[in-house]
């Protein structure tokens, strides 16, 4: 504390020294007489009383010490603390005003009987069942036409690529099926080059003269046994026998050409630049005849249309998709080879085309909740509601409440315990304020109490909107981020103890309030505060969504249902920011609050009072700007309230507007008014009056009390030395005419503003 007082004295010294130019100039030197002579109470002290004779009043202003003052203030603080505890406990502890003596989970001391027949609605159980119906994962799906169109386009693209591949292959069958069968042609296209060369040589060799019925043995020539090779040799030999060697050579050249085109098509199928398109095909494509391929293309489109009409949901296993494709290709194609090609095509194209219909899902969930029958608890007259020593269930409690047997009433013990929690929280807030926050006046505690009480009062409203975002924004803006966060956290802890409030609403509001409090204390304009409201709303909506998902344990697509409630939570956060922005100026004026934003607004040179100061007293205005610059630098170095010091120094000399020519900085080389008066008493009165007139102007313009304090305190009770010395000379020359009273040449003391 000593260090802080020393820093404050240093700042006062700088301010007083900077404002000393406000006195009229000496005719001889042309400078202010305040610069010629320091205060008689020490250099730059600015006050005639030592700090041992001063204390601080509730507004932070120095007043004479009183032995009984400390006791009175302690009594006031204790009274204020008790009122705060009782008030906050009263509005927050609603839960303890109507509690059943026989509650769920307690043991019944005796058997309680129904005095009459009754059927009672169990609202809690009914609400639980309806909430379960809303949260049930039963999403309504719809076909996405956009995804269907994309799959049709992809199939057309792949089929066009298939046509291109088959064009490279050439027409098939290439040879007359009456001469060389289709299966032999397929075989001759696919065998290796060595195998084909060997087969060709055998055909040519066997056309030479040979013994009748000589066996056709391929094993020595080819080293393999193949029925298709044997069949091919038989058909080729038959051509040679029938048409001659020349026709056979022509046929062999055509087979060579067929094998060449087949190789070209296979190389195109392996092209790495066409991997995505080629993935839909294999060499089985080349085994289809032209009619078979022409049958595959429309059949594949038909199968795709049927599958998409049926719908493929997201997450369907690949095995299920494969079974679906196989079933539909069998319905539209008979040839197994064609079925295989169509299946491969659809596997490449087919994707899930069902998406959740959020609106219909929500309607179905609400409809399901409405169809839930109300849970009723029935009992006959004389039947036992609960047996002695039996644990009371929720259903039994409903019946006990119906018959007035639950013995509801205030739970004063729990209420007093909750009051103890509130008292501890207030003390914690006080400790945080004393260590990290600014010193609060009595009216500041009232503001904090009103804002704190607003939250539980609003929770009592059925819609349960918590004002924690507004509380965080306002307290953070008025008293700094630390106190704003502390207030939000402490309220968030107390609210669920004394009131019934949904967890997601509480946590979302608390998170939004913390974000608002953390940033609000750093803002310097209401535009920035308005932008912060968007961040507060986003935080509240996001936390509401996350907490709702965690509490329900939802892992499916039903989480989209919570987006609506999260959206409205975000809107509530923004609404509370707007409320805080609108209420802030009124609270600042009503409780004379000092905020960085308000100080920045008052420091604007376009304010009417500052504009008038610049127009009527240009010299004083320049002096104020100079002093403001010096004071701001000093305040920043000392860790003081820079905004307050800047604004206070801008207004500290507004009283000079009552007589601008009475101060040298406004004379601009004209005749000194005090030379014409030639009366040090009148001149001193003019100088002194700038303080009292400044206070009147400040009150008229409703400047904050802290700013008004700069007006008298920047002079203290210093002596107006120049005119005092003139009066002494006159008194020495004419002792019978002049009597000097030093008080006439000192600024008046002001204990409060």
Is the bond preceding residue 173 a cis peptide, omega within 30 degrees?
yes
CB-count burial class (<10 Å; 0-12, 13-18, 19+) for 219? exposed
Least confident residue range of 105-114, 352-361, 387-396, 401-410: 401-410
Best-predicted range by mean pLDDT (9-18, 159-168, 268-277, 549-558): 159-168
Q: What pLDDT score was predicted for residue 514?
A: 92
Start-to-end C-alpha separation, the chain: 24
Residue 681 or residue 94, greater confidence: 681
Tokens at 450, concatenated: 């009103």
* Percent residues over pLDDT 90 in the chain: 7
Q: Where are the alpha helices (DSSP H) in 437-480?
A: 442-459, 468-479
Q: What pLDDT score was predicted for residue 413?
A: 84
Best-predicted range by mean pLDDT (2-6, 98-102, 122-126, 568-572): 568-572
Least confident residue range of 299-308, 397-406, 589-598, 730-739: 397-406
Please give the average per-residue pLDDT across 201-207, as a whole number.
70
Q: What pLDDT score was predicted for residue 432?
A: 92
Would you give the DSSP letter of residue 286?
G
Q: State how far the Cα of 482 lies from the Cα of 517, in Å rounded to an integer.
A: 8
Residue 606 or residue 162, greater confidence: 606
Dump pLDDT digits (tens) for 437-459: 888 888 889 899 999 988 888 87
Distances (CA, A) of 46 to 17, 77, 440, 747: 9, 32, 26, 10
Q: What pLDDT score was predicted for residue 214?
A: 46
Best-predicted range by mean pLDDT (362-371, 384-393, 590-599): 590-599
Q: Is 320 left (phi over 0), alpha (psi -120 to 50) or beta?
A: alpha
Q: What pLDDT score was predicted for residue 137?
A: 60
Which SS3 state, helix, strand or coil, does residue 627 take?
Answer: helix
Q: What pLDDT score was predicted for residue 276?
A: 54
Q: What pLDDT score was predicted for residue 187?
A: 77
Using pLDDT thresholds of 50, 70 and 90, give the confidence band for residue 26.
very low
* Mean pLDDT score across all residues of the chain: 76
Q: Is 272 left (phi over 0), alpha (psi -120 to 50) or beta?
A: alpha
Q: State how far the Cα of 48 lies from the Cα of 41, in Å rounded to an integer.
A: 6
Q: What pLDDT score was predicted for residue 380?
A: 80
Using pLDDT thresholds of 50, 70 and 90, give the confidence band for residue 267.
low
Q: State how far the Cα of 32 lies from the Cα of 687, in Å rounded to an integer.
A: 12
Q: What pLDDT score was predicted for residue 390?
A: 80
Please give the average per-residue pLDDT across 314-330, as a whole number.
86
Please give the average per-residue pLDDT across 183-206, as a whole number.
75
Residue 717 or residue 68, greater confidence: 717
Best-predicted range by mean pLDDT (124-133, 213-222, 369-378, 672-681): 672-681
**Neighbouring C-alpha atoms within 13 Å toward the C-beta of 198:** 15
Return all residues near 475 (Cβ < 8 A) that are at least 6 apart.
448, 451, 483, 484, 487, 488, 517
Helices vs. strands in the chain: H and E counts, helices first: 32, 10
Q: What pLDDT score was predicted for residue 60?
A: 41
Which SS3 state, helix, strand or coil, does residue 653 take?
Answer: coil
Dump pLDDT digits (tens) for 511-566: 999 999 998 877 777 778 788 888 898 998 889 888 887 876 554 444 556 677 78
Domains, the chain = 2-56+599-745 (no CATH), 173-275 (no CATH), 413-593 (1.10.1760)
With vertex at residue 50, the alpha carbon angle to CA 46 and CA 51, rounded to the nearest 5 degrees, is: 100
Please give the average per-residue pLDDT across 630-645, as a whole number.
88
Dump pLDDT digits (tens) for 373-391: 777 777 788 777 777 788 7
Q: State how far the Cα of 677 lies from the Cα of 24, in Å rounded to an integer.
A: 13
> Is residue 52 scored above 70 in pLDDT?
no
> Is residue 630 scored above 80 in pLDDT?
yes
Using pLDDT thresholds of 50, 70 and 90, give the confidence band for residue 208.
low
Residue 71 or residue 84, greater confidence: 84
Least confident residue range of 49-58, 177-186, 634-643: 49-58
CB 487 within 8 A of CB 472: yes
Please give the average per-residue pLDDT across 685-702, as a whole number.
88
Please give the average per-residue pLDDT across 687-697, as a whole number.
88
CB 92 within 8 A of CB 499: yes
Residue 185 or residue 413, greater confidence: 413
Nearest to 39 by CA among 63, 69, 68, 16: 16
Q: State how far the Cα of 464 lies from the Cα of 466, in Å rounded to an integer.
A: 6
Dump pLDDT digits (tens) for 479-511: 888 999 999 999 999 988 888 788 888 898 999
Least confident residue range of 273-282, 409-418, 691-700: 273-282
């Amino acid at each position: 504390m000593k260090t802080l007082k020393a820093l404050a004295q240093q700042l006062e010294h700088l301010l007083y020294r900077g404002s000393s130019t406000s006195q009229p100039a000496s005719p001889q030197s042309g400078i202010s007489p305040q610069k010629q002579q320091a205060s008689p109470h020490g250099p730059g002290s600015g006050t005639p009383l030592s700090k041992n004779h001063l204390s601080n009043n509730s507004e932070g202003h120095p007043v004479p010490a009183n032995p009984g003052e400390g006791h009175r203030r302690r009594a006031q603080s204790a009274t204020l603390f008790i009122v705060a505890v009782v008030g906050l406990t009263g509005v927050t502890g609603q839960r303890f005003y109507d509690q059943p003596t026989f509650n769920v989970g307690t043991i019944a001391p005796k058997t309680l009987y129904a005095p009459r027949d009754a059927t009672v609605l169990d609202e809690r159980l009914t609400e639980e069942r309806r909430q379960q119906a809303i949260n049930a994962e039963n999403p309504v799906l719809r076909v996405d036409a956009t995804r269907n169109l994309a799959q049709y386009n992809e199939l057309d693209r792949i089929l066009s690529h298939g046509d291109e591949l088959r064009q490279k292959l050439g027409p098939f069958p290439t040879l007359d099926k009456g001469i060389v069968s289709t299966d032999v042609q397929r075989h001759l296209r696919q065998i290796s080059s060595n195998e084909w060369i060997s087969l060709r040589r055998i055909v040519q060799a066997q056309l030479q003269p040979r013994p009748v019925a000589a066996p056709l043995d391929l094993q020595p020539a080819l080293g393999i046994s193949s029925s298709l090779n044997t069949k091919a040799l038989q058909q080729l030999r038959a051509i040679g026998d029938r048409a001659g060697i020349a026709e056979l050579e022509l046929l062999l050249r055509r087979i060579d050409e067929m094998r060449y085109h087949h190789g070209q098509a296979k190389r195109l199928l392996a092209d790495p630049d066409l991997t995505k398109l080629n993935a839909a095909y294999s060499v089985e494509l080349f085994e289809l005849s032209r009619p078979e391929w022409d049958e595959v293309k429309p059949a594949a489109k038909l199968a795709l249309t049927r599958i998409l009409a049926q719908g493929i949901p997201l997450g369907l296993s690949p095995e299920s998709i494969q079974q679906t494709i196989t079933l539909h290709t069998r319905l539209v194609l008979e040839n197994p080879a064609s079925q295989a090609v169509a299946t491969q095509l659809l596997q490449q194209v087919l994707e899930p085309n069902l998406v959740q219909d959020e609106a219909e899902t929500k309607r179905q969930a609400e409809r399901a909740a409405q169809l839930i029958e109300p849970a009723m608890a029935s009992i006959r007259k004389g039947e036992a509601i609960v047996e002695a020593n039996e644990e009371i269930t929720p259903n039994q409690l409903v019946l006990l409440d119906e018959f007035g047997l639950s013995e509801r009433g205030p739970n004063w013990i729990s209420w007093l315990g909750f009051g103890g929690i509130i008292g501890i929280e207030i003390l914690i807030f006080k400790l945080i304020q004393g260590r990290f926050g600014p010193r609060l006046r009595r009216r500041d505690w009232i503001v904090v109490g009103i804002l704190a009480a607003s939250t539980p009062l609003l929770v009592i409203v059925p819609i349960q909107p918590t004002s924690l975002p507004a509380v965080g924004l306002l307290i953070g803006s008025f008293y700094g981020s630390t106190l704003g966060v502390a207030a939000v956290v402490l309220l968030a802890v107390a609210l669920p103890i004394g009131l019934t409030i949904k967890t997601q609403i509480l946590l979302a509001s608390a998170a939004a309030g913390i974000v608002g409090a953390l940033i609000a204390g750093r803002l310097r304009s209401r535009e920035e505060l308005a932008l912060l409201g968007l961040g507060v709303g986003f935080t509240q909506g996001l936390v509401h969504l996350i907490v709702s998902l965690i509490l329900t344990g939802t892992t499916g697509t039903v989480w989209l249902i919570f987006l609506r409630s999260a959206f409205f939570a975000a809107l509530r956060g923004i609404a509370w920011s707007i409320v805080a922005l609108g209420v802030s100026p009124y609270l600042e004026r009503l409780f004379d609050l000092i905020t960085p934003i308000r100080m920045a607004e008052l420091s604007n040179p376009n304010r009417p009072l500052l504009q008038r100061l610049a127009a009527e007293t240009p010299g004083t205005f320049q002096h104020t700007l100079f002093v403001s610059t010096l004071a701001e630098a000093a305040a920043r170095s000392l860790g003081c309230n820079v905004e307050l010091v800047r604004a206070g120094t801008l207004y500290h000399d507004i009283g000079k507007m009552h007589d601008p020519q009475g101060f040298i900085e406004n004379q601009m080389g004209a005749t000194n008014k005090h030379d014409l008066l030639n009366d040090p008493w009148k001149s001193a009165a003019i100088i002194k009056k700038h303080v009292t007139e400044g206070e009147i102007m400040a009150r008229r313009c409703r400047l904050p009390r802290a700013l008004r304090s700069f007006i008298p305190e920047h002079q203290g009770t210093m002596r107006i030395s120049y005119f005092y010395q003139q009066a002494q000379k006159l008194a020495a020359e004419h002792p019978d005419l002049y009597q000097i009273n030093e008080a006439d040449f000192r600024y008046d003391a002001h204990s409060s503003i």
